[in-house]
């Protein structure tokens, strides 16, 4: 175990940093609505669905799907070294939203561009991770 931590410490630090950043921002913006300007604000939303609020009230299914995704990423982590940073972002985002689902029964969203559904940092991390994975896969 110590050897694994030593081998992957940069990745572990990145995942933990991103996860904590997500959780801390969700705690900070919980229950707050702060308008920055006409097309951007921080609006607290309890999302019981997935992206864009689709498929509401299926929390248990989303928790199970998240566990499957985390398992698959961990399974491929050593095999796909070029994809590890993408996996890091996806894992951090998945853990952030998973913790919300387990403890609250919903995901806290708060970033609101008015022309797009409200989202959070974990959602951004998952998208960034998927883009990294797609780019690295396409490049090789």
Q: Which residues are catalytic?
A: 109, 123
Q: How many CB atoms lie within 10 A of CB 104?
A: 14
For 50, residues 6+ apart whose C-beta sits below 8 A from its C-beta are 62
Question: What is the rounded distance in angstroms from the CA atom of residue 28 to the CA atom of residue 54?
Answer: 25
Q: Are strands 40-47 and 33-37 parallel, antiparallel or unpaired?
A: antiparallel
Main-chain phi, psi angles of 8, to 5 degrees: -115, 20
Question: What is the rounded distance in angstroms from the CA atom of residue 106 to the CA atom of residue 56?
Answer: 9
């Amino acid at each position: 175990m110590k050897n694994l931590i030593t081998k992957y410490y940069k990745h572990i630090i990145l995942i933990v940093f991103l996860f904590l950043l997500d959780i801390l921002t969700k705690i900070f913006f919980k229950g707050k609505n702060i308008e920055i300007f006409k097309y951007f604000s921080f609006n607290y939303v309890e999302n019981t669905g997935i992206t864009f609020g689709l498929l509401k009230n299926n929390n248990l299914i989303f928790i199970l799907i998240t566990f499957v995704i985390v398992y698959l990423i961990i399974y491929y982590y050593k095999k796909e070294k070029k994809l590890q940073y993408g996996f890091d972002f996806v894992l951090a985002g998945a853990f952030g939203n998973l913790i919300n689902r387990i403890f609250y029964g919903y995901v806290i969203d708060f970033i609101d561009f008015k022309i797009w559904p409200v989202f959070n940092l974990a959602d951004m991390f998952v998208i960034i991770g998927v883009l990294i994975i797609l780019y690295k896969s396409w490049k090789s």
